[in-house]
Chains A and B, each alone.
Chain A
Amino acid sequence: MSVTETAAWKALEDHAAMMQNTHLRDLFLADSSDKKRFDELSLSHEHLLLDFSKQRITQNTLTLLKALADNCQLNDWKARLFNGDHINTSEDRPALHTALRQPEDSHLALANHNIIGDVHANLAHMASMVERIHAGQWRGYSGLPIDTIVNIGVGGSDLGPLMACKALSDAQPPEGHQLKMHFVSSMDGSQIADLLDRLVPTTTLFIISSKSFTTIDTLSNANTARQWLKSASGVKTELLNRRHFIGISASAEKMNQWGIPENSQLNFWDWTGGRYSMWSAIGLPIALRIGMQGFKAMLSGAHAMDEHFKTAPFEENLPVRLGMIGIWNINFLNIHAHAILPYDGRLSHLPAYLEQLEMESNGKSVSRQGEAIGYSTCPILWGEIGPNAQHAFYQLLHQGSESVMCDFIAPARRYDDFNNKGLQQQHQLSLANCLAQSRLLALGDAAIAGNDTAPIHKRYRGNQPSTTVLLDELNPYSFGQLIALYEHKVFVQSVIWDINPFDQWGVELGKKMATDLLKPLENEPSYSSFDSSTEGLLNAILNKQEPGQ
């Protein structure tokens, strides 16, 4: 039976029919001195506070959502996630990113083998690499210490480390600060071409991150890097492999084939999904940036969120509440656009990261039973640093025709350690804007006295729901909590939608098709035939590439 046919779903539909006509402004009007929406609808855990009072919900909505979650056996699914059941059914394996942040003295057996031991052995290997690089004792082919790191990876092997390094830039120890760090992902070589112009071969180390170690984007960048080192140094490839490359992959065999020596290899496992992998060895650039202590604080923050998600009841559970309210907005209020709006420049890569996390996980329309599903799943996510987006797409949020749900994310404290009043004032200004925008989106004209008589092009409809995620401050621990919060939110929604969030078959066929199209572009005989659009474009490209054109 499809979830849409359950009593719990139908009850929510009935409730939504009523709520459709209720404006957030009116919900707040019902506040009284002893009963306030904020007190009733905000939740906190350790360093995070989530305010859901600007969502179009009442206590009744939450009761009905709980019934739906129970109906979908959310608690069972949580247990299966943490236990390592093969809930990634299409690939027949568990999804155990939570194991990557379990403490060393804990235990989790997969096929009678304690994987927590493996995780911590790998962390220790990573720590020894970090220590060596920070001490200036990882030497390049000339004997000079490495002072520049280039991470080559794409998708999960790029977005997580890139985002975290930026987000935690204030948490750098001096050794991390001295390292220059770059990220290269683009297949066309434009990032690496630009970098190689500026980098010094003797002191540059490349981290090649790829779960399969076959990703064409990554390997083509890696080969370009190695070629560059080879022509600059004139030394043997074997020597460059040993001193200028670290490989991070689930396939030791493929790393061996490429030439990475064993003690420069870091492993992770097929039970870690790419977009859930920054807690693994893929996080090496993060550890190099913020030190191993910082990296472990990040893991602890995420682990604290895991425990909270696992044990807190529905009424207090942050990821469950965040996920279920998403369900309410998408499936019952029919909102299909979701904006991620951090009010902190350090989180500039968070929107891109969540785009992958949510859309690659839940952008699906086939159930776990292999049947087409007849309801909406993951909405379209996008985002930008809030204050910058105010000058870009907020116009649409305030006066466009689409309903959009927003996540406002901000730290309460910042620049505590900076003796700079100007910066401290800028932080307050940013917070003032964050509060102003979510208030205006929710209340519309009612937010400002007198605006209801303004001409119509100056009027604000309001009633755009939002969640505000307030961090005490942005540090490795709270950052770990924040990212784990979203990971579990995604899982909660996948349970309600009855889909597998841990595979990504939708990205496979394009890679295969590209291989087919490479042949005609390289003037090799191709036996494939294409549609007239593709044929036309192919011919146009080949014509334009003819010498003399």
Chain B
Amino acid sequence: MKIAIWGLELTAWATAGILAQSGNDVFIVNDTSITDPVILMGSSIRNEPGLKDLIADQFTKQRLQFINSDSAALLSIHILSMNPAAFENATIVVDDIAKLNSKKLLIINQSHFGVGCTDKLQTLLDHDNDQVVAYLAENISEGEALNNLRHPKSITFGCTNEWASMMIRALLRPFSAHLEQLLVMTPKEAEFAKLSITGMLALRIGYINELANLAEQLNVDIDVIKQSMGADPRIGHHYLNPGCGFGGNTFSQTIKGLANLLAEKRQSHLLDMVLQENEKQKEQPFRKLWQHYECDIHNLNITIWGASFKPGSAALDSAPSLRIISALIAQQAHVHIHDPEALENIEKLYGDHPQVHTYRDKYEALNNADALLLLTEWPEYWSPDFEMMHSRMQAPLIIDGRNVFNKALLESLNFIYYGIGR
């Protein structure tokens, strides 16, 4: 099938890549003069594992091409993977497509414009003559985008037109091997369901973090509590890891959207509170450091392992590290940062700041450190050479924002250890 992809978000590139790989002719709408897809992607999308190579490969095979918007509007199948704030732009796109076509049209919206936005776009087209805007809930997380798209366990889409539903099922067929559930509903319901899932995840994280902070004060190990909770089949183990808060643009923006909707329509501040507490939670490692050093950390050397908002991504969007670095700078500490992927972004942000230093070697970042703050659980941090760490650090203080290390082991190695909730 010939498909036009509108938008330059991560979802757009990943969707384009896998659809091309499964034999479609995919056209990414590009009105700029940039001809190299890798440049157009931008650095944070480029770092998505496997994506850059897939896109380059599909471009070579010419199953993936650029197209300008005027030509794209003439095609019959479109996917909108646009920025959540670009709804107005989306209406212009759909309007243009409507003006140029009297044939059957399928426009699949997978952008987070909000509940009811797909229906608004539909009003620009003739639904009864099979000109349809459907909603497909994207279900990808940064760092695992391709995997998520290739092997979905469940798919939810919103569409009430028979022909369009058939077309969507056909498009998704190559990715249905492990599919356990395919749910079809109205676009508005599908949009709402997507928001609800994201909100639920945020609530779980918020809740386990609250419990972790309480466990600390009651001298209880949250690990034990969390295992017991997860063992209950009504609850399960997912999204029950306490830590120093969640970041990431898509996730945070979606929750913010739902929080605003709840506040506006229901005067409910449940999710607002979750977001506020999450911002506080991001500084939890800083507070442990602060209390350990009795509210005076000026001139101390503080090492940070992991700056990106999650492992597998170079992005710093709303990352806990940013708040912590600001706090450390404000208290006149020196910050020594290691991250396997995000160092370039850190350097862009802090430039030549005299208090911020970056290291390509994680042990080198520990020289003379007065504390190590682990903020992102990159795989390479799970089993480091603890003896080497101990010998390099000025004070063997570890604040583990992701509960990566074994507390008993570290204490037996003469580290002072603080986790989240234990």
Contacts of A141 in B (CB 8 A): 291, 295
Contact of A132 among B280, B290, B330 (CB under 8 A): B330
CB contacts under 8 Å to A, within B299-349, are: 326-327, 330-331
* CB proximity of A83 to chain B, nearest CB, Å: 42
Asked if A137 is an interface residue, CB under 8 A from chain B, the answer is yes
Contacts of B330 in A (CB 8 A): 132, 135, 137
B291 touches A142 (CB 8 A): yes
Given A144-B280, A144-B287, A139:B295 Cβ within 8 A: yes
B265-300 CB mask vs A (1 if < 8 Å, else 0) is: 000000000000000100100111111001110000
Complexed CA–CA distance, A313 and B294 (Å): 60
Complexed CA–CA distance, A242 and B298 (Å): 14
A142 touches B326 (CB 8 A): no
A143 touches B291 (CB 8 A): yes
Closest to B327 in A: A137
A107-149 CB mask vs B (1 if < 8 Å, else 0) is: 0000000000000000000000000100101010111100000
CB contacts under 8 Å to B, within A375-426, are: none
Contacts of B286 in A (CB 8 A): 143
* CB proximity of A332 to chain B, nearest CB, Å: 61
Contacts of B280 in A (CB 8 A): 144
B331 touches A239 (CB 8 A): no
Given A239-B294, A239-B295, A242-B295, A143:B287 Cβ within 8 A: yes
Contacts of A142 in B (CB 8 A): 287, 290-291
Closest 9 CB pairs of A and B: A143-B287, A137-B330, A143-B290, A243-B295, A239-B295, A143-B286, A239-B294, A141-B295, A142-B287
Complexed CA–CA distance, A142 and B289 (Å): 10
Contact of B290 among A135, A139, A236 (CB under 8 A): A139
* CB proximity of A111 to chain B, nearest CB, Å: 36
Contacts of A137 in B (CB 8 A): 326-327, 330-331
Beyond A139-B290, A143-B295, A242-B295, 18 additional pairs, beta carbon < 8 A = A135-B330, A137-B326, A137-B327, A137-B331, A139-B331, A141-B291, A141-B295, A142-B287, A143-B283, A143-B286, A143-B287, A143-B291, A144-B283, A144-B287, A235-B294, A239-B294, A242-B296, A243-B295
Contacts of A132 in B (CB 8 A): 330
14 A-B pairs whose Cβ atoms sit less than 8 Å apart in the complex = A137-B330, A139-B290, A139-B295, A139-B327, A139-B331, A141-B291, A142-B287, A143-B283, A143-B289, A143-B291, A143-B295, A235-B294, A236-B294, A239-B294
CB contacts under 8 Å to A, within B178-217, are: none
Contacts of B327 in A (CB 8 A): 137, 139
Contacts of B283 in A (CB 8 A): 143-144
Complexed CA–CA distance, A113 and B331 (Å): 34
Complexed CA–CA distance, A141 and B331 (Å): 13
Complexed CA–CA distance, A485 and B254 (Å): 54
* CB proximity of A128 to chain B, nearest CB, Å: 11
Residues of chain B touching chain A, judged by Cβ–Cβ distance below 8 Å, are: 280, 283, 286-291, 294-296, 326-327, 330-331
* CB proximity of B199 to chain A, nearest CB, Å: 26
Chain A residues touching B, range: 10 to 19
Complexed CA–CA distance, A137 and B280 (Å): 13
* CB proximity of B406 to chain A, nearest CB, Å: 26
Contacts of B295 in A (CB 8 A): 139, 141, 143, 239, 242-243
Complexed CA–CA distance, A239 and B327 (Å): 18
Closest to B285 in A: A143
* CB proximity of B396 to chain A, nearest CB, Å: 21
Complexed CA–CA distance, A227 and B362 (Å): 45
Complexed CA–CA distance, A137 and B331 (Å): 8
Complexed CA–CA distance, A242 and B288 (Å): 18
Complexed CA–CA distance, A132 and B287 (Å): 17
* CB proximity of A457 to chain B, nearest CB, Å: 53
* CB proximity of A255 to chain B, nearest CB, Å: 19
Closest to A135 in B: B330
Closest to A238 in B: B294
* CB proximity of B332 to chain A, nearest CB, Å: 11
Contacts of A242 in B (CB 8 A): 295-296
Complexed CA–CA distance, A137 and B333 (Å): 13
Contacts of A139 in B (CB 8 A): 290, 295, 327, 331
* CB proximity of A367 to chain B, nearest CB, Å: 55
Contacts of B291 in A (CB 8 A): 141-143
* CB proximity of B249 to chain A, nearest CB, Å: 22
* CB proximity of A145 to chain B, nearest CB, Å: 8
Contacts of A144 in B (CB 8 A): 280, 283, 287
* CB proximity of A75 to chain B, nearest CB, Å: 51
* CB proximity of B300 to chain A, nearest CB, Å: 14
Complexed CA–CA distance, A29 and B219 (Å): 86
Complexed CA–CA distance, A131 and B283 (Å): 20
Interface centre among B288, B294, B296 (most CB of A within 10 A): B294
CB contacts under 8 Å to B, within A139-161, are: 139, 141-144
Interface centre among A132, A137, A143, A243 (most CB of B within 10 A): A143
* CB proximity of A141 to chain B, nearest CB, Å: 6
Closest to B290 in A: A143
Complexed CA–CA distance, A142 and B296 (Å): 12
Contacts of A243 in B (CB 8 A): 295
Complexed CA–CA distance, A139 and B288 (Å): 13
Closest to A141 in B: B295
* CB proximity of B69 to chain A, nearest CB, Å: 37
Closest to B280 in A: A144
A488-526 CB mask vs B (1 if < 8 Å, else 0) is: 000000000000000000000000000000000000000
Complexed CA–CA distance, A143 and B287 (Å): 5
Closest to B286 in A: A143
Closest to B323 in A: A136
Complexed CA–CA distance, A132 and B296 (Å): 15
Contacts of B331 in A (CB 8 A): 137, 139
Contacts of A236 in B (CB 8 A): 294
* CB proximity of B320 to chain A, nearest CB, Å: 14
* CB proximity of B67 to chain A, nearest CB, Å: 44
* CB proximity of A236 to chain B, nearest CB, Å: 8
Complexed CA–CA distance, A139 and B291 (Å): 11
Complexed CA–CA distance, A235 and B287 (Å): 15
A234-247 CB mask vs B (1 if < 8 Å, else 0) is: 01100100110000
* CB proximity of B226 to chain A, nearest CB, Å: 24
Closest to A240 in B: B295
Closest to B283 in A: A143
Closest to A242 in B: B295
Contacts of A143 in B (CB 8 A): 283, 286-291, 295
Complexed CA–CA distance, A457 and B412 (Å): 94
* CB proximity of A205 to chain B, nearest CB, Å: 13
Contacts of A239 in B (CB 8 A): 294-295
Contacts of A235 in B (CB 8 A): 294
Closest to B288 in A: A143
* CB proximity of A127 to chain B, nearest CB, Å: 15
Complexed CA–CA distance, A144 and B289 (Å): 12
Complexed CA–CA distance, A405 and B281 (Å): 59
Complexed CA–CA distance, A235 and B283 (Å): 20
Complexed CA–CA distance, A141 and B327 (Å): 14
Closest to A132 in B: B330
* CB proximity of B317 to chain A, nearest CB, Å: 20
* CB proximity of B290 to chain A, nearest CB, Å: 4
* CB proximity of A129 to chain B, nearest CB, Å: 12
Contacts of B294 in A (CB 8 A): 235-236, 239
* CB proximity of B293 to chain A, nearest CB, Å: 10
Closest to A138 in B: B330
Complexed CA–CA distance, A239 and B289 (Å): 15
Closest to A236 in B: B294
Contacts of B326 in A (CB 8 A): 137
Interface centre among B287, B295, B296, B326 (most CB of A within 10 A): B295
* CB proximity of A307 to chain B, nearest CB, Å: 39
Complexed CA–CA distance, A293 and B289 (Å): 34
* CB proximity of B356 to chain A, nearest CB, Å: 16
Interface centre among B288, B290, B331 (most CB of A within 10 A): B290
Complexed CA–CA distance, A242 and B293 (Å): 13
Complexed CA–CA distance, A142 and B280 (Å): 12
